[in-house]
Structure 1
Amino acid sequence: MNTVPPTRWALGGGGARGYGPRFAELVAQGEDIDGEARLADALVPRGARILDAGAGMGRVTAALRARGHDVTGIEPDPYLVEQSERTYPGLGLLPLDILETTPAALSEHERPTAYDLVVAVGNVFILLAEGTEVQALTRLRTLLGPRGRLLIGFHLTAGPAGSRTYSPDEFTRDAEAAGLTVDQRFGTYELHPANEEYAVWLLSVPASGQSGGGA
C-alpha cells in the first residue's frame, strides 16, 4: 500500500486549527471570501471541470459550484472535511492528498479525471510535505485536460505557522521540472502586479507536452 509523507500542515499538530472555524464564521456573517473563486471563474467557460486541490473547508469549491462549474474538491485533513460538511452540507470533498489524486482514485469516486482548471490556493504549496513540490506539480499536471491550466497562490513572506518559504525563482524552476510553463505571476487575485509578499501563478503545459488527458 502506497503512503504519502505528512504535510507541513499535518505536522503542525493542530496549530492551524483555527482556520476552518474562522472562515466558517466569515461565511455565516456574509463576508466576501470569494476572491480566488472569482478569478478562477473568469479563467474558464461556463460549466467547466475544476479541481480544487487542498480545498480546506471548501469555500472555493462551494463558490465555484454556485457559479455553475463541475468542481471536485480534495482535502486530506479529516477535520477540515468535517468542517466543510457543517458549513456547506453535501459538499462532498474527497479525502485525498494531492499525491494520492490519480485518475484511478478519481474514477473510484466517479469524478472526472481531466480538468479545465486546477486550483491550489490558500497556501497549499507552502504547506506540502517537505521535498514533494515537484511531485505535486507533476501530479496536478497529469490531471489537466487539453489547454488546461493551474491557478496557484501562496504567501512569499509571513506565511502560516509551519509553512516554508518558497521563492519565485525556486517555484519557477520546480514548475519547469514538472513539465509546466509559468504564463503569468501576479501579486493578488485581483491581478495587481507581482510583489514580494504574495504570488498568484497561472501555469500551463507547453503545447509540445499536451497529452489530452482523460475523460
Structure 2
Amino acid sequence: MDVTTLPQGEPTPMTPRRTRWQEAGNSGGFGKRFAELIAAGEDVDGEARLADTLLPRGARVLDAGAGMGRVSAALLNRGHDVVAIEPDAALVRQARETYPGLPIEERDILDLGPDDGPFDLVVCVGNVMLYLAEGTERDALRAMRAALGDNGRILVGFHLQDQPAHARTYTPAEFEADLTAAGLRVDLRAGTYQLHPANDAYSVWILSRAQH
C-alpha cells in the first residue's frame, strides 16, 4: 500500500485514486438497465458464450469487474468454477440478489496477486478497462496476468467509439502498448464476441502471457 510520511515520522495510507467509474457515479443506472434486459428475456450472454468456448469443462474463471454478475452467473451455469470481483458495493448487492449463491467479492482488480490464481481465464469485459483510475491500466493488466495459470488467457472487450460518460477513449494502439508493457501478448483481436472482424467501434481481445 502506498503511504506518505507525516512530519512526526508516522506513516499514513494515501487516499486511493478515484476511478472513472466512481466519477461517473452511474452504477444504479447500469444495474437497472441490465436488470430490465434480463427481466425482458433479452440475450445478455454473448461474452459468456465466447468465454466458454475458450475453456475446458470445469475450468477456473475470474470475472474481473463483474458488475451485477451476469457473465459470472452464465459461466457458473455452464459448469465452471467462477470467482467474481467487483469494487462497486451497490452492484455486488445486486449480483447477490439477482443470482443467489454467486461467489462475488467486493474487491478491486488492483488487489489481485499470484495467490489468487491460478485461473484458466480472466474475463474483463463491459468497458471495465475504460473506467479504471487514470494511469492504472498497466497495473490492472499486470494484476490479471499474475493471476493466470501457465496456459491461462484473458478476455477483454470495450467500446472504441461512443463510450459511456466519464469512460476514457482507449485506442487499440494504446491498449496494445499497455498490454505489451504488462507482459502480455495478443492472441486474437475481433470486433464482436461472435468474432466478427476487427472494426473501429468495439474491440475484443484474447490475451496470454508473452513468451520471453
Tell me the TM-score normalized by structure 1. Answer: 0.89
The answer to whether residue 132 in structure 2 is matched with residue 128 in structure 1 is yes
Q: Unaligned regions of 5+ residues in structure 1, if any?
A: 107-112, 209-215
In the other structure, the counterpart of 1:38 is 49
What is residue 171 of structure 1 aligned with on the other side? 175
RMSD, aligned CA: 1.3
Q: How far did 1:5 drift? A: 2.2
Structure-1 separation of matches of 2:33 and 2:26: 13
| Alignment partner of 1:182 is 2:193 | no
> Are the aligned partners of 2:189 and 2:203 in contact in 1 as well (CA < 8 Å)?
yes
Q: Determine if the alignment matches structure 1 residue 5 to structure 2 residue 17.
A: yes
Q: Is the contact made by 2:160 and 2:171 (CA closer than 8 Å) also made in structure 1?
A: yes
SS of 1:18's equivalent in the other structure is helix
Greater alpha carbon shift after TM alignment, 18-27 vs 120-129 = 18-27
The code of the aligned residue for 2:150 comes to P
CA distance, structure 2, for counterparts of residue 103 and residue 180 of structure 1: 15
User: What is the deviation of 1:146?
Assistant: 1.0
1:26 aligns with 2:37: yes
Which structure's relative contact order is higher, taking Cα pairs within 8 Å and 6+ residues apart?
1
Counterpart amino acid of 1:79?
Answer: A
Pairwise CA distance, 1:205: 0.6
Once the two structures are TM-superposed, the CA of residue 56 in structure 1 deviates from its matched residue by 0.2
Q: Does 1:161 align with 2:159?
A: no
Write the mapping of 1:62-77 to structure 2, written as runs, cut at 5 A.
Answer: 62-77=73-88
Q: Structure 2: which 5+ runs fail to align? A: 3-14
Deviations 1:149-183 (A, max 9, x none): 01000000111111000000010100000000011
Identical positions, percent = 60
Residue 78 of structure 1 pairs with residue 89 of structure 2 = yes
CA distance in 2, matches of 1:23, 1:204: 30
Give TM-score, length-normalised by structure 2: 0.90
Aligned-pair CA distance for 1:103 = 4.1
What secondary structure sits across from 1:183 in the alignment?
A: strand
2:149 equivalent among 129, 132, 145: 145
Structure 2 residue aligned with 1:198: 202
The amino acid that maps onto 1:160 is P
Correspondent of 1:101 among 95, 112, 122: 112
1:25-55: per-residue Cα shift (whole Å, max 9, x none)? 2222221100000000000100010100000
CA distance in structure 2 between the aligned counterparts of 1:25 and 1:86, rounded to whole angstroms: 14
1:71-92, CA deviations, whole angstroms, 9 ceiling, x for partnerless residues?
1000000000011112111213
Shift of 1:16: 4.6
Structure 1 letter corresponding to 2:38: V
Of the three residues 89, 92, 100, the one matched with 2:103 is 92
1:102 deviates by 2.5
